[in-house]
Amino acid sequence: MFNSLRGRSSPTAHTAEDASTNKDKGESEDDSIGVESIDQYTRLLGVNMYNFEFFVLCEILQPGTLGQISRKEFVNGWKNQTRSPGVPLEPSMDEHKKFIRSRIQQLPRDPVLFKKVYRQTFMSGKESHQKAIPKEVAITFWDELFSPTLRPWKTAKVDWLDAWERYLADNWKRSVNKDMWNQTLEFAIKTMEDETLSFWTENQAWPGVIDDFVVWCREEGVVASPKKNADGMEVDE
Amino acid sequence: MAVFGGRKDAMEVAAPLGGRVLGAMCELVDYDRKGDERFESGLLKESVLMLRLFGVYGKFFERRFLDESHSFFLRFAEERSAAYGLKDYIIACERLLQREGERCDQYNFDSATKRQLRDDAHRILVEKYSAKLLDSGNVGRLLEANDVESIKALYDLLRLSNIQKQLKGPWEEYIRTMGSAIVGDTARGEEMVIRLLELRRSLDIMIRDAFGKDEVFTYGLREAFGSFINDKKNTAAWNTGTSKVGEMIAKYIDILLRGGLKTLPKTLLSDSKDRADAEMSGIASTGDEDAELDRQLDNGLELFRFIEGKDVFEAFYKRDLARRLLMGRSASQDAERNMLSKLKSECGSSFTHNLEQMFKDQELGRDEMVSYKEWLAGTGRTKGGMDLTVSILSAAAWPTYPDMRVLLPKDVLEHINSFDAYYKSKHTGRRLAWKHNLAHCVIRAQFDRGPKELLVSALQAVVLVLFNEAEGKGGPTDGVLAYQQIAQTTGLPGPELQRTLQSLACGKIRVLSKHPKGRDVKETDTFTVNKAFTDPKFRVKINQIQLKETKEENQDTHKRVAADRQFETQAAIVRIMKSRKTMTHSQLVAEVINQTKSRGAVDAADIKLNIEKLIEKDYIEREDGAYVYMA
């Protein structure tokens, strides 16, 4: 999954190498499975490893690093799932298959689940020793999560995902940390409710990158600039 | 005589006559008011007496008199306020009120009449024209002219209507305008503190002599000072990013502590009234210099108290203190100690802790030198008549100084190494870093017109002793050293070498001659000893450049203060979040500013950046549009 997604978005030499070392290490070494085994497992489970379905699996197993799932994560992940409150899942492949399929179908309609999946995507998508993911990887993830069939980040007048990525291309040279990743979803949710950005003020706890994005949107005409009164103060209408 | 008669029918006849009498009396008063010579004092007096005898004073006269006075006051105020400036209007009103009062007494008007008349006059002259009296431009002009008398008259006038407190507005506005102009004046930065103190002093005198020590104005003065000193707009002209006033106050105190009471303008020195006040409150009462110095230090500190962003002062004060101690420039140890204890109560002991350590280091250093010299004498090794004094400074307490690379003369180096070895064997585990650019020395020089002792910096000395070896070779290059040669032998970096050579060959005192002549040192220049050098004094100081702060040092200090502010901001954020657990952005920013204001707050955008740095370090997290502390 991560490999293939990266393949679509001009992988850097660094990340490609990381993936291959994971593969070479094999499974047995540290009690965890690598990319090849994950590939096999997802096939058995009926989960598409090459799109967002894999993110749903990540939300269940919560792997802490890229392309690797430990025994502990696997066992605890499934153990913590319930068929209904208080009723644990049967430890069988069929039960697991059914469960994850319903989760996948639920995802576009369930904002709470979506947020969980979104947040876990970052945690499972980074190297365990890193605090951030490369910008290119983040964009690939966003493209997938905000894809038209899943949960499009788009309102009547504005294609936000497109604007966000255009903004990042010219103004963001750094990697994407957890704060930026999580806040992007919060911001996306807000924009879906109010595409004029009138909810935003600079006195809120938004990260600087989002503050700058709002300013950029106004300058670029993505949204209208708020009207100013004679004193140059912004006024609500 | 039955002018007002008792009988009803007589009354009808009498009324017009009575009216004429009353009219005539008012006319008399009017003459008096206008200084008309037709006024007859005796006549008015007797008329009033007559009315009183007939018992009709209150019944007929009083009302009419007050009515006529009322229109007179109206006319008076209208004319005078239109024709006069504030000062003359005040004088006119003052005089009018005084004369009205005197007239009432002199001609036996009823005290009730007098009171009503006075109240009416106050209402018209003062309250009705309070806009004029309280106009900040008008009042400001009087304050600027330091016209204590007029301001006092104004204050007294306003007090009659009990609106004197309203002067606070124009008072504060005047202070803010004046103060902002001084603080933002980059051309006269050196005089900034002196000018602020002069302003302060004239305002204090105003409060004392014009406002009867009314506390409202003392309070207003403090507010206004606090506002203009900390207004970023005012100090923006300096481009230092941090408070320029703090720096200038530190430097002012440095001047005082170097014995600069003499450089103060007379206007700042206490007058006899101050001394009487001081005596009353039992503090340094005598007029001697120590007491005066103490008062001046207090005045400087009082300005300092207004500053939000005390860190700048602290940084510069520390640098200056270090320089005074290392170069032996303090005028009085007592004054230094005195200042230290003042600072302790002002800034807290965390700041003075390091300063105290600096004093302690000085004492320890002296003891260390004594025992080193004993040891040296004991080993029987002497160092060829060269005397060495080392100041051992704890790196943490003193300002940081750059390491200067310089190649020392062999004998000096040996001596230093000997001390180095002695010290390290005595205190194992300690490391000595020699700061050659802080060192200074006395060297003996032989000129054609006799020997001199030269007080020079170590760098100057290193350059000078090179000429010992350059001499006596004979030939055309005898005694001549080229810039490049000096650079090579001393190993001094370019700008430092140029500064040093300039001080020796281009300053007021020239022990070297530069060829060709000129103010700037070029790499192609050559130098010789100026054999013809002479000076009225035997001991000549030429290490002044060492005492002067360079532009780079100044910028460096400001930069370090600015960088420290970022750290202190982060520390404050963590402290606040730790105790409050969760906070919105604006709450957190407000609290951070509140907590860092006195030492120096950064602006809201910088606070946001620091919050983000802490989020990255996992100290805090964003959750639902607020910040959450992570244990």
Query: CB distance A131–B616 less than 8 Å?
Result: yes
Under 8 Å between Cβ of A126 and A58: no
- Per-residue pLDDT at B280: 61
CA distance A74 to B617: 29
Chain A contact for B451 (CB, 8 A cutoff): no
Nearest chain B alpha carbon to A205: B585
What digits encode the pLDDT tens for the residues B28-39? 888 888 888 888
Across the interface, which of A177, A182, A203 has its CB nearest the CB of B585? A203
State pLDDT tens for residues B581-615.
999 999 999 999 998 888 888 888 889 999 999 99
Among residues of chain A, what percentage have pLDDT more than 70?
83
Q: For B114-131, what is the mean pLDDT?
A: 85
Helical packing angle, B215-230 and B192-209, nearest 10°: 160
Please tell me if residue B580 touches chain A, with a CB cutoff of 8 Å. Answer: no
Among chain B residues, the shortest Cα distance to A200 is held by: B625
Can you give the pLDDT at residue B11?
44
B461 CB neighbour count, 10 Å cutoff: 22
Task: Tell me which chain B residue has its CA closest to the CA of residue A185.
Answer: B624
Cβ contacts of B604 on chain A, cutoff 8 Å: 203
| Tokens encoding A203 | 């006195």
Q: Given a cut of 60, is residue B263 above it in pLDDT?
A: yes
Q: What is the mean pLDDT of chain B?
A: 83
Minimum Cα–Cα distance from A183: chain B residue: B622
Region B367-396 average pLDDT: 81
- Give percent above pLDDT 70 in chain B: 90
Which pLDDT belongs to residue B272?
A: 63
The answer to whether the Cβ–Cβ distance between B622 and A131 falls below 8 Å is no
Per-residue CA distances from A132 to A9, B456, B616 (Å)? 18, 57, 10
Per-residue confidence at B446, pLDDT binned at 50, 70, 90? confident
Q: Is residue B626 scored above 60 in pLDDT?
A: yes
Phi-psi region of B542 (alpha: psi -120 to 50; beta: other; left: phi over 0): alpha
Instruction: Annotate A153-175 with b (16+ C-beta within 10 A) or e (fewer).
Output: bbeeebebbebbbebbeeebeeb
**Given pLDDT bands bounded at 50, 70 and 90, which one contains residue A17?**
very low
Task: Tell me what pLDDT residue B275 has.
Answer: 63
Inform me whether the pLDDT recorded for A227 exceeds 70.
no
Residue B465 and residue B409 in contact, taking contact as beta carbons nearer than 8 Å: yes
Q: How many CB atoms lie within 10 A of CB B630?
A: 14
B121 membership: H or E segment, kind and range:
helix B111-121
Residue B54 is predicted with a pLDDT of 82
pLDDT band at residue A107 using 50, 70 and 90 as cut-offs: confident
Cross-chain Cβ contact B584/A208 below 8 Å: no
- The answer to whether the CB of B18 falls within 8 A of the CB of B4 is yes
| Residue A28 phi, psi dihedral angles, 5° rounding | -70, -30
pLDDT of residue A167: 94
Distance from CA of A75 to the nearest CA of B (A): 28
**Is the Cβ–Cβ distance between B106 and B57 less than 8 Å?**
no
The Cα B23–Cα B17 span in angstroms is 10
Q: Looking at B241-348, list the stretches that DSSP marks H as alpha helix, in order from N- to C-terminal side.
A: 244-257, 272-280, 289-305, 310-326, 333-347
Residue-level pLDDT at A129: 83
- Residue ranges of alpha helices (H) inside B306-348 are 310-326, 333-347
Average pLDDT in the A192-218 region? 90
Q: Give residue B51's pLDDT.
A: 83
Rg (CA), chain A: 20
Please tell me the predicted confidence (pLDDT) of residue A12. 35
Tokens (6 digits) for B553: 């040092």
Is the pLDDT at B105 greater than 80? The verdict is: yes
CB within 8 Å: A208 and B612? yes
Residue A233 has pLDDT above 70, yes or no: no
Tell me what pLDDT residue A28 has: 46
Q: For position B588, what pLDDT does the model report?
A: 93
**Nearest to residue B339, comparing CAs of B367, B366, B361, B358?**
B358
Predicted complex: ipTM over 0.85: no
State the pLDDT at residue A2: 45
- B604, B609, B627 member nearest A205 (Cβ): B627
The predicted structure's pLDDT at residue A13: 36
Confidence of residue B570 (pLDDT cuts 50, 70, 90): very high
B340 or A229: which leads in pLDDT: B340
Looking at the DSSP bridge assignments, the partners of residue B626 are: B584, B623
- Cα separation, A107 vs A51, in Å, equals 13
- A175 to chain B, any CB pair closer than 8 A? The answer is no
Is the model's pLDDT at A10 over the cut of 60? no
Tokens representing A204 are: 């809120």
Res. B274 pLDDT band, cuts 50 70 90: low
Closest CB to A179: pick one of B585, B622, B626.
B622
User: Which one has a higher pLDDT value, B609 or B7?
Assistant: B609
What confidence score (pLDDT) does residue B553 get?
Answer: 81
Can you give the pLDDT at residue B270?
A: 67
pLDDT at site A30: 64
Instruction: Kindly state the percentage of chain A with pLDDT values over 90.
Output: 22
Q: Do A204 and B584 touch (CB under 8 A)?
A: yes
A149 at the B interface (CB within 8 A)? no
Cα→Cα distances A93→A27, A28, A104, Å: 20, 22, 16
What is the rounded distance in angstroms from the CA atom of residue B482 to the CA atom of residue B528? 9
Better-predicted residue by pLDDT, B394 or B475: B394
Work out the pLDDT band at B388, boundaries 50, 70, 90: confident
Q: How confident is the model at residue B477, as a pLDDT?
A: 65
- Residue among B436, B468, B470, B439 nearest B456 (CA): B439
Residues of A with CB below 8 A from B610's CB? none
**Which residues from A are below 8 Å from B580, CB to CB?**
none
> Quick check: A160 pLDDT over 90?
yes
pLDDT in tens, B484-537: 888 888 888 888 888 888 888 888 888 888 888 888 888 888 888 888 888 888
Candidates A179, A183, A205; nearest CB to B616: A179
SS3 B512: strand
Q: What percent of chain B has pLDDT over 90?
A: 9
